[in-house]
Amino acid sequence: MSNETPLDAIDREIIFHLRQDGRLTNVELAKRVGLTAPPCLRRVKRLEESGVIAGYRAVIDPEAVGRGLEVLIDVEIYAQDRKSFEEFESIVAAFEEVVEFRRMYGRPDYFIRVAVADHAAYEAFLTGRLSGLPAVRRLESHLTMKTIKTSP
């Protein structure tokens, strides 16, 4: 996947523009980076094939799909055998409310980001799903007061 050819200035410009608008037409993109369409398309294809451009996504308003509330959770677990770890990880990863899930160095053991409709839905998730897992020792939920910046 990792490309041997490092990105030149034009590649970086292409990435910059496609990050802002993934549906740019190739001709418009070419105009912005100072190329004509065919060489521009070849570069884009190369970036896609080398994995630099991993895909394209529509950005959806979380509110509109019932995911307006994000909660960050620090998790401590009981140190157990390998099987318990694996079970805990696969169960949590399968929860649709979980949008990010990392095992951390030091403390906490795991970091989870959950997206739900509202506080009632979060309470239901915490009580009905997460806190009942045998591996869970301690959960600490962190609520956002204000999002100052997200994504590049």
Partner DNA sequence: GGTGAAAGCTAGCCGGC
Partner DNA sequence: GCCGGCTAGCTTTCACC
Among 8, 28, 49, 63, binds a copy of itself (CB under 8 A): 63
By CB under 7 A, tell whether 15 contacts DNA. no
* CA separation for the pair 2, 144 (Å, rounded): 36
By CB under 7 A, tell whether 28 contacts DNA. yes
Name the pairing type of β-strands 69-77 and 110-116. antiparallel
| Closest listed residue to residue 75, CA positions, set 135, 143, 115 | 135
Among 42, 102, 119, 137, binds a copy of itself (CB under 8 A): 102
Among 38, 51, 66, 134, binds DNA (CB under 7 A): 38
By CB under 8 A, tell whether 124 contacts a copy of itself. no
Phi, psi of 64 (to 5 degrees): -70, -25
Whether the CB-CB separation of 37 and 26 falls below 8 Å is answered with: yes
By CB under 7 A, tell whether 36 contacts DNA. yes
* CA separation for the pair 23, 20 (Å, rounded): 9
By CB under 7 A, tell whether 43 contacts DNA. yes
Among 10, 52, 133, 139, binds a copy of itself (CB under 8 A): 52
Contacts 24+ apart (CB under 8 A), 100-109: 107/74, 107/76, 108/74, 108/75, 108/76, 108/140, 109/75, 109/76, 109/77
User: For the chain, what is the radius of gyration of the CA atoms?
Assistant: 21
As measured in angstroms, the least distance from the Cβ of 47 to a copy of itself is 8
Of 35-43, 97-105, 117-125, 130-138, which segment contacts a copy of itself by CB under 8 A? Answer: 97-105
Residues in contact with DNA by CB under 7 A are 5, 10, 25-28, 30, 35-43
Contact positions vs a copy of itself (CB under 8 A): 1-3, 7, 12, 15, 18-23, 50-61, 63-65, 72, 89, 92-93, 96, 98-106, 108, 111, 115, 142-152
